Structure 1
């Protein structure tokens, strides 16, 4: 995608779909397929095989070979399904302990425009398994990451983004998220909702929340590039309270098909320990969440 300052032009030509063959990953694959069909994208299907998982089994050497062969067959099935949809696709199988590193390296090598991944969103312990991969990706990836959480249903019969919610805190990362959300909204002819959640007023002095809301709604409108206003008539929503609750309340009210968030880069270990707003939104959302950094 590129922002010209006049119009928003989406160009998602390369998708990296990371799968562990779970039910969550299968649902994420439906979204990868739908996006690829819409943008005529090519898809790289990646499975990262942990070689230590089978070592505790009897006949560990045979178990490792069997696991690898099973993964190869599953990848071949995934490729066949994509080719039925007339999508250019290839597969990659990597044997390593560091799933996140492999995904990030391949995304960089292939100039992936978006990474698609599913997550179980199991809370603290869950984040140390598949959840930790999604958690690290959303804070470290140079490419946007589309995460399909545990409450997201597979698109039926085909993927359509009709309502896009973009939450912003007016930071540089959040502004980039607005631009990306605009590209999706324009491409799919979707209605755009811009959202900002303020903390609840504290203290003894009364606050004119209506005036405050109007001021922030005006700031939200200023995020829309000039020429984009010819086609984009966003609904600007200002709420008060906990950011995650405000974002999800809006998304549920309008039956959003996509939530877009800006995220900040954090270290590998901090990403595991510190869940943050983005991952909690992903864990609780009924629709996919697209995150990106500036």
Structure 2
């Protein structure tokens, strides 16, 4: 993890997707003896406010009552799945994205529930999700509400995208730690059909077997140190000629967790979230852990 904290931060807003995230974080906290911090941020009067022209006192009372309801519901969800886990509650009078970014500075992980799917099977990403994936100071887990028939197996592997960049190293660190904690196997997936490699191959200047051999060597080099540090983790190495998002999504219904790095650079959150991260958060059936990099990468995500 990026931080030495033993607390998982969960953004809550009263939605079912947020409660899904709370339960997921509570189970993790129970297994790892972590605490859970529930963060509810409110910076404006909700659209459901019953009066057209509220006084300041009316608005404060309404927001307070609504916030209390949201918090109690989330606390009950923690107790439901992980009784005994320590729960801290934070109510912040600011925009949710800003509040959670601030909380990420001292968290082991931020956990967010993703909204439902639209008719094409894509999760509609909100500004909070994009902002946290791009700018959080710790890993961010995105948990989608499950449908029984498409729920990934709980005993599936952790799957990590390996791209040979500093960001990829940070994702590898998180993936090995997760696999070790979960007692699961780890699939290290390296996709080489991207950027200059694709153009070199398609122009006939290099043989596909040569490229793949070079990429397998790169993957072995990246994994060597981590396998020595985590000898308990069984690793399967895969090198495939696919774009990273496609290769990782192929595992989304078999993995218990997908891990991907995100450079998270640039001033605009919407532009900073890479295409691979965005695709995984949008389409993956299983939870997705985005590990934001702090150093520039040499390849596109």
TM range (shorter): 0.7 to 0.9
- Structural mapping, 1:133-144, within 5 Å: 133-144=128-139
1:21 Cα offset (Å): 1.7
Name the CA distance, whole Å, in 1 between partners of 2:125 and 2:208. 41
SS in 1 for 2:138: coil
- Structural mapping, 1:1-294, within 5 Å: 1=1, 13-54=6-47, 57-61=51-55, 62=58, 65-83=61-79, 85-96=83-94, 98-108=95-105, 111-120=106-115, 131-149=126-144, 152=146, 160=154, 162-199=156-193, 201-202=198-199, 203-205=202-204, 207-224=206-223, 225=225, 227-228=228-229, 230-252=231-253, 255-267=254-266, 269-271=268-270, 276-294=275-293
Which segments of 5 or more consecutive residues in structure 2 lack a partner in the other structure? Answer: 119-123, 294-301
Name the CA distance, whole Å, in 2 between partners of 1:147 and 1:112. 15
Aligned residues of 2:158 and 2:185 also touching (Cα < 8 A): yes
Name the CA distance, whole Å, in 2 between partners of 1:229 and 1:66. 51
Kindly tell me: are residues 270 and 146 of structure 1, through their superposed partners in 2, closer, same or farther at Cα, counting changes over 3 Å?
closer
Kindly tell me: are residues 186 and 133 of structure 1, through their superposed partners in 2, closer, same or farther at Cα, counting changes over 3 Å?
same
CA RMSD of aligned residues (A): 3.1
Name the CA distance, whole Å, in 2 between partners of 1:198 and 1:130. 27
Kindly tell me: are residues 191 and 178 of structure 1, through their superposed partners in 2, closer, same or farther at Cα, counting changes over 3 Å?
same
Give me the TM-score of the superposition, normalised by structure 2: 0.79
1:59 Cα offset (Å): 4.1
SS in 1 for 2:285: coil
1:60 Cα offset (Å): 2.7
SS in 2 for 1:251: coil
1:218-270, Cα deviation, whole Å (9 max, x unpaired): 32222232523633331111222332111111333xx0010001111234534
1:99-122, Cα deviation, whole Å (9 max, x unpaired): 2111121232xx210000012277
Moved more, 17-26 or 227-236: 227-236
Name the CA distance, whole Å, in 2 between partners of 1:56 and 1:35. 38
Moved more, 219-228 or 53-62: 53-62
Tell me the equivalent position of 2:296.
none
